[in-house]
Amino acid sequence: MSSIKPSAHLAEVRYEIRGALTRRARDMEAAGQPIIKLNIGNPGRYGFTTPTHLREAIATHLGDSEAYGHEQGLEEARDAIVAQQAARGAVGVDAEHVFIGNGVSELIDISLRALLQPGDEVLLPSPDYPLWSAATILNDGSPRYYRCLAENGHLPDPDEIDALVGPRTRALVLINPNNPTGAVYPRALLERIVAVARKHHLLLLCDEIYDEILYDGTPFQPLAAVAGDHPCVSFGGLSKVHRACGYRVGWMSLSGAKARIAEYRDALQLLAALRLCANVTAQWAVRPALLDKPTIGELTAPGGRLHEARRIVLDHVAASPYLDCVSPGGAIYAFPWVRADAIAHFDDTAFALRLLEEEGVLVVPGTSFNLHASRHLRLTLLPEPAQLAEVFTRMDRVLGRMAAEDRPPASAVA
């Protein structure tokens, strides 16, 4: 019998955050070797807990969660999202322009499926969160990447974005605060990016899942308020800010002049209806999450666990003879790189494998985020600060061995 062949699309899709290195780590754990995992932003795996009042809201409404819900989400949850968006200055957002999904991941796929024709292009950041590239490819689109270089604070160049726009470009994706770099985009930069979108009639898609995870007074500027009447989809959810990844609750709100977004809104509703509805039970947590007192600030303020983890990372990078890093202004990751003057010949994937096999530490190489010729690696800030300090001790040991191997023999120098 012939084997079942998978879709050809998958040949171009990668998601190394849960890929080959993670499978190797599982094999090592099964053999009895402990692994320090810094590969994924999953707060519940690192001792963070969902706020009690969100759990209580779900428990109170278990009896109300047994039937299919509205395809766009519970009305009271959507009303809370509308209130949040209105307070942020979004134009034209009402309950009919809000969609709740099984995490932002599902909604990214729906937003692109409703938009793309075969061969259409989507402008994506490099590095990107690889789900955006995968969803573009799986919906018959073509990713085009604009650079977010470390020497520019991992911020994009609007002129480069403008130059990349072609006749088939349909959308421009932003991730702010950024995964994997932690960059937070200032308003002046967003204004220039919106001007590019207006000039070329591009739909703006802004992944804002880390919107309240900010450090040292870094301000967050929602894109919808800057976009005004220009079509914009803003994504948010419970997974990161509210430490509730397993609830699988995300949302997208569609803003802008309603005449321009009407057909797209209807396409989104059709796709939402085809999957019946999102998880009803967890949607009861949306209203208290958005309208009650925020809880993330105690973790990101000086002395808080996330702030302390970030400090440990930056201090150890500064002390390392091999590493450098742009200080993350938000999110839960750092994106350090190995300096070329320390190790001239460097392969980030080979390093990640050596770090895992020689020192029992799992990180994600920068190439996994569609970054060409990367010297970067992404690590999460979620482990306890003391464990992060140990991680850098182990990293420097591997980098020290690699540096020694990279040097030419003494005879060759002579």
349: domain CATH number is 3.90.1150.10
- Judge if 209 and 105 occupy the same domain: yes
**How much is the average pLDDT of 147-172?**
97
Asked if the structure places residue 56 within a domain, the reply is: no
Residues 125 and 208 in one domain: yes
Note the pLDDT tens digit of each residue in 182-210: 999 999 999 999 999 999 999 999 999 99
Give yes or no: residues 22 and 126 share one domain.
no
Q: Which string of DSSP letters, residue by residue, matches 163-183?
A: HH--TTEEEEEEESS-TTT--
Residue 411 lies in a domain: no
Beta bridge partners of 32: none
Instruction: Let me know whether 287 and 302 are in one domain.
Output: no
Residue-number span of the structural domain to which 322 is assigned = 8-49+298-406
Mean pLDDT of 354-360: 96
Domain-located, residue 150: yes
Q: Does this model's pTM top 0.75? A: yes
Residues 85 and 391: their CA atoms lie apart, in Å, by: 39
Q: Cα separation of 280 and 247, whole Å?
A: 10
Tens of pLDDT along 93-137?
Answer: 999 999 999 999 999 999 999 999 999 999 999 999 999 999 999
Looking at the structure, do residues 37 and 161 belong to the same domain, yes or no? no
Residues 221 and 352 in one domain: no
C-alpha span between 77 and 290 (Å, rounded): 9
Other Cβ atoms within 10 Å of 288 Cβ, number: 18
- CB under 8 A, 24+ apart: contacts of 403-408: 403/322, 403/342, 403/343, 406/343, 406/344, 406/345, 406/346
Whether residues 183 and 249 fall in one domain = yes
* Phi, psi (deg, nearest 5) at residue 268: -60, -40
Residue 60 lies in a domain: no
How do 323-324 and 250-255 pair as beta strands? unpaired
Tokens of residue 202, six digits? 């591009």
Domain stops at, among 267, 291, 315: 291
Quick check: is 272 in a domain?
Answer: yes
- 3-state class of 128 per DSSP? coil
Instruction: Report if residue 100 sits inside a domain.
Output: yes
Sign of CA dihedral 290, 295, 299, 300: positive
Same domain, 226 and 308: no
Is residue 118 situated within a structural domain? yes
Residue 305 lies in a domain: yes
How many domains are there within the chain? 2
Do 230 and 254 contact (CB within 8 A), yes or no?
Answer: no
Name the band, by pLDDT with cuts 50, 70 and 90, for residue 413: very low
| Residue 50 confidence (pLDDT) above 90 | yes
Could you tell me if 263 and 335 lie in one domain?
A: no
Would you place residue 414 in the very low, low, confident or very high pLDDT band (cuts 50, 70, 90)?
Answer: very low
Q: Identify the domain boundary among 245, 269, 291.
A: 291
Distance of alpha carbon 151 from alpha carbon 190, whole angstroms = 19
pLDDT in tens, 232-281: 999 999 999 999 999 999 999 999 999 999 999 999 999 999 999 999 99
Q: Residue 225: which residues within 8 A CB-CB, separation 6 or more?
A: 88, 89, 90
Asked whether residue 88 falls in the same domain as residue 195, the answer is yes
Instruction: Among 291, 316, 337, identify where a domain stops.
Output: 291
Query: Would you state the pLDDT for residue 410?
Result: 55
Average pLDDT of the chain to the nearest whole number: 94
Same domain (yes/no): 102, 239: yes
Q: Kindly report the CATH number assigned to the domain that includes residue 262.
A: 3.40.640.10
173 and 277 part of one domain: yes
